[in-house]
Amino acid sequence: MVKDKSGLSPFLTEHLSYIDKNLSLMQLRNVIATFMTRYDISFEPNEDDLAVCRDMKDQFNQHAGELDICFIPRAFK
């Protein structure tokens, strides 16, 4: 059913898979850390923090409900 299997396991197909995976995970950690240090992250003023779990749709894969969050740039001095 799948014509191109390389899209299903991008880190397991090459002989350099460990390098690719480690670089990708390192870059992801770097982006998340940069994002967390530059912004204060909070819920929108009228957002219910339990709505994401309450509105979850359980199908073949679970789909989380809507979550409105606010990113406020931090003021560095």
What pLDDT digit, counting tens, does each position of 32-72 carry?
999 999 999 888 888 777 777 777 777 677 777 777 888 99
The DSSP string of 8-57 is: T-TTSSSTTHHHHHHHHHHHHHHHHHHHHHHEEEEE-TT--TTHHHHT-E
DSSP code of residue 74 = -
pLDDT at 15: 61
pTM metric for this prediction: 0.54
pLDDT at 16: 57
List the structure tokens of 19.
């390098």
pLDDT at 12: 61
pLDDT at 53: 74
According to DSSP, the residues that pair with 72 across neighbouring strands are 40
CA–CA dist 30, 4 (Å, integer)? 31
Question: Over 80: is that where the pLDDT of 27 sits?
Answer: yes
